[in-house]
Every structure is written in C-alpha cells, then in structure tokens.
C-alpha cells in the first residue's frame, strides 16, 4: 500500500477513511490533491471497501486550495491547469460507484474544502463547523466545481448569495438549506459517518452502485430519460444473486446475507 505525506488511509469493517493532514488548515496543495486522488483510486478499487469517508485531521475539515500556491500562479495556463486538476479529482469522487461520506469536523470547510464536501454523496457536519464559498474575498471565484454543485444542492438564488458575498454559514443553516445531511455535536462527525457507513455497507454493492449511477445520470436529462435509465438499472439489478438473496430473506423473515454479486 502506497504511503502518502498528507493523506492517511485506514480501513475498518468494509469502510475506508481518508484523512487530510497537512499544515496550514489541511489545505490542498497540488501535492496533497494528487495524493488524495491516488488514495481515493486505491480504496475505490478495493473489493473489500464498500463505503468511503473523507475527513480532516485535528480541528477542521479543510480550508481548500493552498492560497500561497495560487499566489504563485503567473498566468492563465497555470491557473486553468490548477482548476482542471481539482475538478478532475472531485469529479472522480462524485462519480464513484461506492458511497462517499464527508465527515466535516471541527471549525470549517471553506472554499475548496466545501467543494470537496459537495463532491461527496453525503455530508455530516459538526455543530461548530462553518461552510462557505469564500473565494470572492480574495478576488477569486470557485474553481473546483462550486459554481456547479452548490446551485444544484441549495438552489441558484441561495448559492449565488453565498458565492457573491463570501458568507460563511453555520452547520445548522447549512442543514436547513440542504447543504449537509446531518448536524451532530462537536467531535462526533467521524463517529456518525462511521455509523452511517456501517448501515450502508450491509447492503448489496451492485444495488448501491446502481442507485448512485441512476441518480447521477438523471441529473442532467429529462424526467423521461431518467426514468428510462432507472428501469434499465432496475432490470439489471434483478438479475443479481443479491436480489435473489434479498427476496428469499424477506419471504423467510430473516436478515439477508449479500455477497455483492
């Protein structure tokens, strides 16, 4: 297993946890972002891993891109490459066929940190956490998907207000507008994410992947096209061994024992 300088990888009971651990607020430098991508590829390909959690070390999730590195950019080409690199990493996370949970711990998930959380399928935030797209305060705009994912999660009007003002909102407001799924007491984000991951991991991997795929594909097509894709995925899942096991277990009034095939 490859070792990384800024990303810690742990595996436990069908769950992989990727922890960002880098000085200066767990910021994602080019190296840290590359390591996150490599670590994610590893755990996503592991057949023993069914759910992935991304969190931050210490007292915060991530401040996003390394501002000092951005300050070093001299022109259009470097800046575009940096944005496309981050987008590619976050797109890989969002398009994974295994559920990904962001455990937003500690004080904040801002800028690229919030963009990383939004690329995950589910988000757990601690009460003291603050979230936002604060790039405007630096004379910048979101570059890792914020202008695309935030409106889809909270609506265009609220998303524009957050991006145009650079406002930081607390976890309670983030939950109210649909940016996070759950708010938990301080220090409980990772434990809650683990419990949620364990619940999800007991189910059939092909069915989990099909739900993610159908939801993702339906996002940018008509309802009719989305329903057609859902029907195809439903039919495909009905041919799996896990479907037969699930139906048998239900009829026999016993817990199912899925084999992920």
Q: Hey, which residues are catalytic here? A: 115, 135
How far apart CA 69 and CA 16 sit, in angstroms, is 29
**Of residues 214, 207, 212, 260, the one with CA closest to residue 238:** 207
- Strand locations in the chain (E): 7-12, 15-20, 51-56, 100-104, 108-110, 122-126, 130-132, 169-170, 182-184
**Of residues 29, 35, 34, the one with CA closest to residue 67:** 29
How far apart CA 159 and CA 166 sit, in angstroms, is 10
Q: Which backbone phi and psi does 99 adopt, to 5 degrees?
A: -60, 140
3-class secondary-structure state, position 83 = helix
Alpha-helical (H) ranges within 166-240 are 171-176, 189-201, 205-218, 223-237
Q: Which residues pair with 108 in a beta bridge?
A: 130
211 contact partners, CB below 8 Å, separation of at least 6: none
**Is the Cβ–Cβ distance between 116 and 54 less than 8 Å?**
yes
């Amino acid at each position: 297993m490859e070792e990384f300088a800024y990303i810690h990888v742990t595996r436990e009971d069908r769950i992989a946890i990727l922890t960002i651990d880098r000085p200066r607020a767990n910021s994602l430098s080019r190296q840290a972002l590359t390591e996150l991508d490599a670590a994610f590829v590893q755990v996503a390909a592991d057949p023993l891993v069914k759910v992935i959690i991304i969190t931050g070390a210490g007292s915060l999730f991530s401040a996003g891109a390394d501002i000092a590195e951005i300050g070093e950019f001299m022109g259009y080409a470097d800046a575009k490459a940096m944005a496309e690199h981050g987008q590619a990493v976050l797109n890989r996370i969002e398009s994974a066929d295994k559920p990904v949970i962001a455990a937003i711990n500690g004080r904040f998930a801002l800028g690229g940190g919030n963009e990383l959380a939004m690329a995950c399928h589910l988000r757990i935030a601690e009460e003291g956490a603050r979230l936002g797209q604060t790039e405007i305060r630096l004379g910048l705009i979101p570059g890792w998907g914020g202008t695309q994912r935030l409106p889809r999660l909270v609506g265009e009007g609220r998303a524009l207000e957050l991006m145009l003002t650079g406002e930081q909102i607390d976890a309670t407001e983030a939950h109210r507008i649909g940016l996070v799924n759950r708010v938990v007491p301080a220090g409980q984000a990772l434990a809650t994410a683990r419990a949620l991951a364990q619940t999800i991991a007991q189910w059939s991997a092909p069915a989990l992947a099909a739900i993610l795929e159908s939801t993702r594909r339906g996002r940018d097509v008509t309802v009719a096209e989305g329903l057609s894709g859902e029907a195809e995925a439903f039919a495909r899942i009905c041919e799996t061994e896990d479907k037969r096991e699930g139906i048998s277990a239900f009829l026999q009034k016993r817990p199912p024992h899925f084999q992920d095939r």
